A and B are shown apart, each in its own frame.
Chain A
Amino acid sequence: MKKQSVEKKKKAGKDFQTPYTLTNAVVKGNVITKLSLLIMGLGNICHKQIVKGLMFLAIEVGYIFFMIKSGIYNLSMLPSLGTQEQVEVWNEKKGIYEYTAGDNSLLILLYGVATIFLTIAFIIAWKESVKSSYKAEVLAKEGKHLNTFNEDIKSLFDQNLHKLLLSLPLTGVLAFTVLPLVFMITMAFTNYSKQDDHLVLFDWVGLTNFKKVLNMQDAIGQTFWSVLGWTIIWAIFATFLNYIFGMILAIVINRKETHAKGFWRFCFILSIAVPQFVSLLIMRTMLNESGAVNVLLKNAGIINKSLPFWTDATWARVTVIVINLWVGIPYTMMQVTGILKNIPAELYEAAKIDGATPVQTFFKITLPYMLFVTTPYLITTFTGNINNFNVIFLLSGGNPTPVGKTAGKTDLLVTWLYKLTVDKQFYNLGAVIGIMTFIVLAIVALVTYRNSGSYKDEEGFQ
């Protein structure tokens, strides 16, 4: 007996394990618990948790009703994605052509995916109900207290607070982030594209799109590799130049001898306080062929031909990186300022006594310390830069674009994705590129993030 209770404690002590699992319910549960495998909530109703039981039952009835009404049809259409084309039929009575409704593959796919989501949600609810029935049975057998409905509600504000607080945000994330994402990912395996006119009816094509994008010989594949190359160059430059220059700026402003620190900080922060799309659109018009910069330089007699900011590939690439510095340096400065103040002053004093130059102290003390603290921040900026839609789209729009190409010389994977989906309507290729972007990022980010100090040492401060 004693041994058992010790074992139980051991088990309970292990993170969040309970004896009320699905397998235990199936193996050890009595008839009523086993019946509640079929009729959700039965166990709860029999043990006087009537409202809870009825809620489980309502979920089951609702789900079955939904499945019969449309769910089964939705799932059955998924493999074929619809075959019925919209046809014109001559209606003799009315004397007009009528259209019979054809299948719309996109809606079939969407409803199918949504139905799968609902089914998964239902299975989770079903597992919960079985566990809850079993728990009621065991507690009743042991003569322990069973929670009434009111107590259940109360527990939502205490032990189960996370369920209360997380339910709405989680629903939002599932419906507007996860569901669309899965929907989009499935598109990568279809031929949903304007090419060959597959905008209404399309089919599963397996990995064809991936092969096409990765194939160096194919036009799309060539574009993919060159865009990928530029995206990575851009992200590295944008991230590290911003980081280092931002830090130097913050250090210079933070120096003891610098006067009017607040004023300098204000100047730089003002430039990012202006909404990004406003400042970027202004920059774009200023650097146009007949924009302010060119006109002023011409009038001053410095140049006699407009500088090709957006028309020459190299010029455009350098310009976007430089303008991104304009956008990014104040951000880094703002974020770094607080952390810089936290570096222990003894380190600097010791370095000074040892005769280190400012450059040495920067590379030997400041930079390592900052790198340790700000790794997560660096990763987020890196991913942010790979996905930096605004700067490219609003500044250069990806231009200059060679004739006949789908992507321009400054297009990143994301802006190319936008062009492919919104402008060209090659939805399948767009989805593939989204997935490829994700893979690149996931490899970089997960490895570094999991090894960073702030992830491992989460509770270091508490």
Chain B
Amino acid sequence: MSKQITSSVKVRKKITNVIVHVCLAVLAVIWLFPIFWVILTSFRAEKGSYVSTFFPKSYTLKNYVKLFTDTQVLNFPKMFMNTLIIAIFVCIISTFFVLSVSYCMSRLRFKMRKPFMNVAMILGLFPGFMSMVAVYYILKAIGLSEGSMIRVALILVYSAGSGLGFYVAKGFFDTIPKSLDEAAILDGCTKFQVFTKVTMPLSKPIIVYTVLISFIGPWIDFIFAKVICRANADYYTVSIGLWRMLEKEYIDNWYTCFAAGAVCISIPIAALFIYMQRYYVDGMTGAVKG
């Protein structure tokens, strides 16, 4: 009798297990379908956005070749370099900003701390680009809206306000025991030395996370770049370039190249992101495991 019950429980468990795995598989297919499709499209030989079959009729590498060699209309290699340069500078500046602000908010106690945190919270509630038009005029007023200064302008726009995004890193610093700081101060460290020699070495996950997040920012932003670059095609970043490939006048010739470009951009970003999310989970759970 009891054996029968346990075996029926086992069977039921097996059935739910199979159902769960099938569901997961179906979901995974749904989630990966667009990615799979864009990879297929990037190798498709037929031009244009209209398709009649799921799998391409013939395959080619020409889309990739065109993307990197046909620089007459849409100069993809240049856009790529623009974005890379901007991303490197943004990455350096914002990492410094974010880490110093979050260290101050987490570890130092001063009069303006709570007010600053509340203000940062309030500022975060305004629609991000509500001030975009205003930023454009400010940049124009200080002469950063024309020519090669556009790159400087974009770097400033992406990194200047980054100090407000201190929450994740602050949460991480909060989990480092204060006794470590106190011990270091007893040993004669200044607070700056505590920051560089105690906190930083313990914070590898959150440093990697901050570096990658700020590096990825310029690659995936679309709207800020569009407002600031306007018609200066020389300084476009990749996201505007890809967007333009889908505009009516280009879509017939460039649709498959768009797919190729999307693949080219997505592979490094996706690799960085997957590498980073491990650190993100670590960052969420804290520095010193109990």
Contacts and interface: CB of A to CB of B under 8 A. Distances in A.
Given A283-B34, A296-B54, A422 B243 contact: no
A291 interface: yes
B24 interface: yes
A220 to B, nearest CB: 17
Given A176-B161, A326-B31, A422-B133, A339 B126 contact: no
Contacts of A394: 222
Interface stretch (B58-66, B69-77, B95-103): B95-103
A454 to B, nearest CB: 8
Interface majority SS (helix, strand, loop, mixed), chain B: helix
Interface string B12-44: 010001001101100110111011011000000
B138 A442 contact: no
A222 to B, nearest CB: 21
Interface size class of A (residues with CB under 8 A): 35 or more
B126 A438 contact: yes
Contact of A181 (B123, B160, B177, B216): B123
Contacts of B246: 281, 285
Interface of A: 15-16, 106-107, 110-111, 154, 157-159, 161-162, 164-166, 168-170, 172-173, 175-181, 183-184, 187, 249, 252-253, 255, 257-259, 264, 266-279, 281-283, 285-286, 288, 290-292, 295-296, 299, 326, 330, 334-335, 337-339, 341-342, 376, 380, 383, 387, 389-390, 393-394, 413-414, 417-418, 421-422, 427, 430-431, 434, 437-438, 441-442, 445-446, 449, 458-459, 461-462
Contacts of B163: 166, 169-170, 172-173
A434 B285 contact: no
The 10 closest A-B pairs by CB, nearest first: A169-B163, A180-B131, A172-B160, A273-B270, A180-B134, A434-B130, A176-B160, A157-B192, A165-B100, A273-B273
Interface size class of B (residues with CB under 8 A): 35 or more
B277 A462 contact: no
B100 A166 contact: yes
Contacts of B122: 442, 446
Contacts of B27: 249, 268
B134 A181 contact: yes
A161 B191 contact: yes
A389 B101 CA distance: 27
Contacts of A270: 31-32, 35, 270, 274
